[in-house]
């Protein structure tokens, strides 16, 4: 972890995950890892759940950097059929969130589209 640029901590909005995440963040801080080196990701996020993003952030003492929506059916289909989610359900909210995350990690250069006269 010392050589990693960023440590990604993934949790779901349930009490056991929040409790374990709080303990993990405390351990990482005691080992000298700053908040700037860690990012917290909420997986299987659903709006209107019992525990909100704000509640989780306050409980763990860190900001929530990314939310991956819950889309069990599309993800399960992708896994069970061995087809990448971007091929089986490219418009699914999970696929869009993963593309946004990947773009944040390694931005793609802007591609200039050629107009009618460019051909």
In a domain, 113, yes or no: no
Residues 61 and 81 both lie in one domain:
no
Residues 52 and 28 both lie in one domain:
yes
Task: Provide the pLDDT for residue 109.
Answer: 77
Q: Which of 76, 73, 67, 68 is nearest to 94 (CA)?
A: 68
Is residue 86 classed as helix, strand or coil in its secondary structure? helix
Residues 8 and 64 both lie in one domain:
yes
In a domain, 116, yes or no: no
Residues 20 and 30 both lie in one domain:
yes
In a domain, 66, yes or no: yes
Residues 61 and 29 both lie in one domain:
yes
Residues 39 and 54 both lie in one domain:
yes
In a domain, 115, yes or no: no
Task: Provide the pLDDT for residue 13.
Answer: 97
Task: Provide the pLDDT for residue 57.
Answer: 97
Mean pLDDT by 10 residues, the chain (119 residues): 95 98 97 95 95 97 96 96 96 95 83 64
Task: Provide the pLDDT for residue 21.
Answer: 98
Residues 6 and 59 both lie in one domain:
yes
CB crowding 80-110: b at 16 or more within 10 Å, else e: eeeeebeebbeebebbbbbeeeeeeeeeeee
Task: Provide the pLDDT for residue 101.
Answer: 92
In a domain, 112, yes or no: no
| Spatial separation of the C-alpha atoms in residues 16 and 23, rounded to whole Å | 11
Residues 27 and 83 both lie in one domain:
no
Residues 58 and 15 both lie in one domain:
yes
Quote the number of domains for the chain: 2
Domain that holds residue 26: 1-70
Q: What is the pTM of this model?
A: 0.83
């Amino acid at each position: 972890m010392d050589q990693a640029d960023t440590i990604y901590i993934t949790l779901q909005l349930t009490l056991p995950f929040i409790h374990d995440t709080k303990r993990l963040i405390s351990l990482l801080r005691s080992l000298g890892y700053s908040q700037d080196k860690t990012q917290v990701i909420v997986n299987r996020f659903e709006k209107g759940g019992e525990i909100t993003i704000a509640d989780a952030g306050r409980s763990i003492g860190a900001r929530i950097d990314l939310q991956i929506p819950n889309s069990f059916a599309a993800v399960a289909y992708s896994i069970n059929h061995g087809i990448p989610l971007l091929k089986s359900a490219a418009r699914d909210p999970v696929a869009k969130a993963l593309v946004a995350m990947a773009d944040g990690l390694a931005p793609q250069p802007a591609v200039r589209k050629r107009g009618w006269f460019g051909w």
